[in-house]
Amino acid sequence: MNTVFHPIRLAGLSLQNRLAMAPMTRSRARPDGSPSPLTACYYAQRAGLGLIISEGTQPSDEGQGYLATPGIYTDAHVAGWKQVTDAVHAQGGRIFIQLMHAGRMSHPDNTPRREPGVAPSAIAPGAGMFTATGMQPIPSPRALSTEQVRQTVQDFRHAARRAIEAGADGVEIHGANAYLVQQFLAPSANTRDDEYGGSIANRARFAIEVATAIAEEIGPDKTAIRLSPGLSLWGIDEGEQGPELYRYLVAELNKLGLAYLHIMHLGDEALLAELRSLWQGALILNRPGRPREQIGADIAAGLAELESYGAMVLANPDFVERLKLNAPLNEADKNSFYGGNEQGYTDYPTLRDAQPA
Ligand SMILES: Cc1cc2nc3c(=O)[nH]c(=O)nc-3n(C[C@H](O)[C@H](O)[C@H](O)COP(=O)(O)O)c2cc1C
């Protein structure tokens, strides 16, 4: 029986174990959107996980939604990420950069051009967002023209190329959590009447075009995607057709031979089993808030090839070692999740730190 500690081959890479660090926005990028040496230290500390998936990283100016998130489209971004990937590789780790276009989940004050976000349709998410001056309502986004949708696909392609230049082992398209890709999927956010709206095939088109373009650009073995079927958050409602949409989308993505599919699972076990059978490649499964005793259960059951963990890895740089030793875990401090300095970022103690000298 496979456990989380067994090595695995994933898309031509040898991973030390089957634990992945889930992508986590930490809002500590420099003003130009490049990650700092502190970020390199943070990821290198966690390189004991088989695979690191980076925080959501915007592919373009328009893709930014939150404060101080990193980008991967300028030379400065590439130089900053190169320090991160070098530091992770030096520790024997592997890293995919998550490409996150926030779409309508964006506040103008947080973005380089101080403009409202872009989206399939001009429908506000009905949510607030943290800015430099505190929480503010998110304004209505600008609807993308058909030509602009095609340009956005090219922005993803360009960012993927730049991620590889920066030494990333691959990229994960953020198709989950109510951001741009999922906004296209959901009729509540997408009322378009061109080829990117309406039918299931049309709403799935943007996700498939982004994945296809990136796979062409950097290779399918370096291209992955994250989905959160059935998520209901910030005005996202996939409606009754939701399960059918995901069956179609996953079957189409399966044809591309991507590195992996990363599912943030929200409870529909029957749908998860169906998607698993439609997906012939590697599956990374994230079950939010999964208790420690359940770690490894999906791998043992043969449902997933890897399991990803967020908060526990954030708070435990030596997560794998602690699991192996059955040692206690540090608690994550929510107050330092987003923004700030090394506090709550690179200063979580390892077991070794805690040992008396
Ligand atoms: C601080 C924080 C930031 C997050 N940022 C992202 C992100 O940038 N991209 C993403 O796909 N998910 C993001 N997530 C969701 C996590 O990847 C993960 O799905 C979630 O934390 C549930 O897993 P867990 O219970 O193991 O933490 C974030 C979660 C946390 C706690």
Q: What is the pLDDT of residues 290-335, one digit of tens each?
A: 999 999 999 999 999 999 999 999 999 999 999 999 999 999 999 9
Q: Is the pTM of this model over 0.85?
A: yes
Nearest CA residue ID for atom 2, ligand 1: 24
CA distance 31 to 25: 15
Report residue 204: phi and psi, to 5°. Answer: -85, -10
Residue 37 has pLDDT above 70, yes or no: yes
Catalytic residue among 42, 43, 179, 196: 179
CA angle centred on 222, ends 221 and 226, rounded to 5°: 100
pLDDT of residue 357: 62
DSSP 199: S
- In percent, the amount of the chain with pLDDT more than 90 equals 97
- Cα gap 291→16, rounded to integer Å: 23
The dihedrals phi and psi of 318, each to the nearest 5 degrees, come to: -100, 45
Q: Is 5 in the pocket of ligand 1 (CB under 6 A)?
A: no
pLDDT band at 117 (very low <50, low <70, confident <90, very high): very high
Distance 145 CA to ligand 1 centre (A): 31
Residue 2 is predicted with a pLDDT of: 75
Question: Cβ(182) to ligand 1 under 6 A?
Answer: no
State the Cα–Cα distance between residues 100 and 96, nearest whole angstrom.
12
Q: If you average pLDDT over every residue of the chain, what do you get?
A: 97
74 φ/ψ sector (left φ>0, alpha ψ -120 to 50, else beta): beta
CA atoms within 13 A on the CB side of 271: 21
Q: Would you state the pLDDT for residue 354?
A: 79
**Among 33, 89, 19, 62, which residue's Cα sits nearest to residue 286?**
19
Mean pLDDT of 32-57: 98
Cα of 116 vs centre of ligand 1, distance in Å, is: 24
Examine the pLDDT at 356 and tell me if it is beyond 80. Answer: no
CB count within 10 Å of CB 233 equals 15
> Nearest C-alpha to atom 7 of ligand 1 is from which residue?
24
Residue of 309, 307, 291 whose CA lies nearest to 299: 307
Q: Which of 102, 22, 96 is nearest to 61 (CA)?
A: 102
Pairing mode, if any, of strands 223-227 and 8-10? unpaired
26 C-alpha vs ligand 1 centroid, how far in Å? 10
- Report which DSSP code applies to 41: H
Domains and CATH numbers, the chain: 8-354 (3.20.20.70)
Give percent of the chain above pLDDT 70: 99
Beta bridge partners of 284: 262, 306
Greater confidence, 12 or 357?
A: 12
Checking if the pLDDT of 79 tops 80, the result is: yes
pLDDT score recorded for residue 234: 97
From residue 176, alpha-carbon distances to 65, 182, 185 in Å are: 15, 6, 10
Q: Provide, for the chain, the percentages of residues in helix, strand and coil under a 3-state DSSP scheme, each rounded to the nearest 5.
A: 35, 15, 45
Ligand 1 probe mutation, 4, 19, 24, most atoms within 8 A of CB: 24
If one counts every other C-beta atom within 10 angstroms of the C-beta of residue 45, the result is: 21
Q: What is the pLDDT of residue 355?
A: 77
227-258 tens-digit pLDDT = 999 999 999 999 999 999 999 999 999 999 99
pLDDT in tens, 329-349: 999 999 999 999 999 999 999
CA-CA distances (angstroms) from residue 356 to 102, 347, 352?
45, 17, 9
